[in-house]
Amino acid sequence: MASLPYRDNTSRPSNYGRGGDDDEDEDEEEADESGFKSSKDAVLFAIDVSESMLTRPTDGDEKKSDAVLSPTLAALKCAYALMQQRIMSNPSDMMGILLFGTEKSKFQEGDEETGRGGLRYPHCYLLTDLDIPAAADVKQLRSMVEEEEEAADLLVASKEEVSMANLLFCANQIFTTKAPNFSTRRLFLVTDNDFPHASNRDARNSAAVRAKALYDLGVTIELFPISHPDRGYTFDRSKFYNDIVYSASPSDPDAPAPLTADIKPASSTAKDGISLLQALLSSVASRSAPRRSMFSHMPFEIGPGLKISVKGFILIKRQEPKRTSYIYVPPDSDKPQIVTGVGQLVADDTARTVEKAEVRRAYKFGGETVSFSDAELAKIKNFGDPVIRIIGFKPLSMLPVWAQPKQNYFIYPSEEDFVGSTRVFSALHQKLLRDQKMAIAWFIARRNANPTLIALIPGREQRSDGGEQIMPPGLWIKHLPFADDIRAPPETEMVKAPDPLIDAMRTVVQQLQLPKAVYDPGKYPNPGLQWFYRILQALALEEDLPEKAEDKTLPKWKQIHKRAGPYVVEWGKVLEEQYRVWQKENDRQPRIMANGGAKRAGGAAPAASNGRSAKKAKADDGGDAGEGGITDAEMRAAFAKDAVGKFTVADLKGWMQGKGIKAGTKKAEIVDAVNGWHETKMETD
């Protein structure tokens, strides 16, 4: 089914979060993040170190360091960036770096001294073994990408051609010994050679056999090709790599199609403004995260007697710093020790230790305590087996924006339980898209979970300008609230904006739209999370602590002022005019208080406590503040012409009271205070 190029890369992942601990409170009403299933991921970079890969581009911009990197160094920097990211965001994942085509050879520690590495896997150098990255690995890789002398000592191309069969067998051995039980194992192959062993057919066949062995082992090969337009060379995967790189996932060979199309060859030049490093980072980012499944083998009942199987995913999940353990430093030692938490139940009155078998769950009801055994609770919560059951269809326009009490899930067909699920799912998806409908369904996420009503919303596929998939097509599960979940809105006194004010604001909004009128979350990293990671990295790698966090969410004030500043000022003038009109129509005039604030008088005088009508409030200086005073527009114009001093002291004081500005009694001091207020406001704006 080509219209749904999305697949699951996990094979029966283990539960994440609960850990099977009986002490955990299992009262959760829904399968939320505690039921989130995660698969450990192992990524091995295989980077080509040939003469062409070590050659820097001839027409790169020398002022931009990224534009003059050799392809090999760009790939190492890309691996370094990915390692920095994964060491904190995915602390259980493994990563390694294997260089091939080098003069030196190393497979295990000590091979360089003994020379055994060259015997087993010649011209293959295991720079970083496949393991959970440690601070030492990050330091080593950082020195490689930042210090040219150390890199030049190792990055020497061999005169002999490296055997691709040996390379793939070496990767096979690494995955087998280091990550035998990982459900997601991937080999990232970075090279510019599209036709290895051009004159040796037997060597090409041997490489294809080794690639098939990797596929049977459950390893996915991802190819990151590199072209050299400045040399008239374009990578052609059909010559060799179509027999090496499999499009299907080894863990789910019946999946409809790969997640994205083949990765386009990255250009070693930067004529189009995108450096090789940026292109590699973008390509690797699109494949770096394995697909995390929320549930699998979920029955999906479309109608009576029509049932298929689907898998659920969390595509958008809030990322938080992950703490791996608690530690403490003993008083007699400087070495931190890992501590393990142990809990026990104690009677409130006697402090006697209570065994788990003696405990029952209790709930308050009208001052009484009602207790249940685990078996009774399980029976009360049992609404049937997990299922998604469609009960009807509604127009998408009937779904309110606020109706979202929980996180959305994404579902995709699975052929594991019902053959033909993909075809039926695709038909439903396309029909809902074409008619702009949504399905209302009954959803039980797991056993003993409370049922919920959900809306199944069809989602279109979204791709970037480079053809990479941003969002897959499929159905989104949106939880709908019950009557018990809706709270009464607060009472508010609303004043509807008049049409001239709305028209003026429309121009401001049009000037401040994001590029293509779309919010792209990939451009805005979480500043708090990145700041925490940066501090953590600096402490772990003994780097200098950063002075300021990089926050890409900060507004670009100068650009905003340039594009929308005049329109905002114009809107302010319209606001003042419409506010005066509203005051007259509703008989509401503000009066100046003694403390400099403004108090709004109501349209009708409130009744006094003795039943008589209260007197109308007057301004402190005896007149109505809205009549005969200086307007903000007049004061701004006088400030722009440096003519604030033309106003009388009484008028200036009246205007300053409305703004809460304090100054001396002399006119010069008052004028300075007004000018200073305007200058401060301009700097803030």
Residue 293 CB coordination number (10 Å): 22
Nearest one of 562, 584, 582, 563 to 574, comparing CA atoms: 582
Quote the tokens at residue 3.
């219209």
Residue 514 CA from chain centroid, whole number? 18
CA distance 407 to 50: 48
Tell me how far apart the 2 most distant CA atoms of the chain are, in Å: 109
Local structure of 134: helix, strand or coil: coil
CA distance 196 to 181: 32
Q: 573 CB contacts (<8 Å, ≥6 apart)?
A: 633
CA distance 602 to 425: 61
Do the Cβ atoms of 70 and 53 come closer than 8 Å?
yes
CA distance 317 to 198: 46
Nearest one of 619, 470, 597, 586 to 5, comparing CA atoms: 470
CA distance 272 to 279: 11
Residue 481 CB coordination number (10 Å): 16
Three-state DSSP string of 104-127: CCECCCCHHHHCCHHHHCCCEEEE
Question: How many residues does the structure list for the chain?
Answer: 685
Do the Cβ atoms of 219 and 187 come closer than 8 Å?
yes
CA angle 191, 98, 163 (to 5 degrees): 65
CA distance 573 to 577: 6
Do the Cβ atoms of 526 and 592 come closer than 8 Å?
no
CA distance 182 to 251: 11
Local structure of 587: helix, strand or coil: coil
77: annotated active-site residue: no
* Catalytic option among 37, 40, 104, 106: 37
Annotated catalytic residues are 37
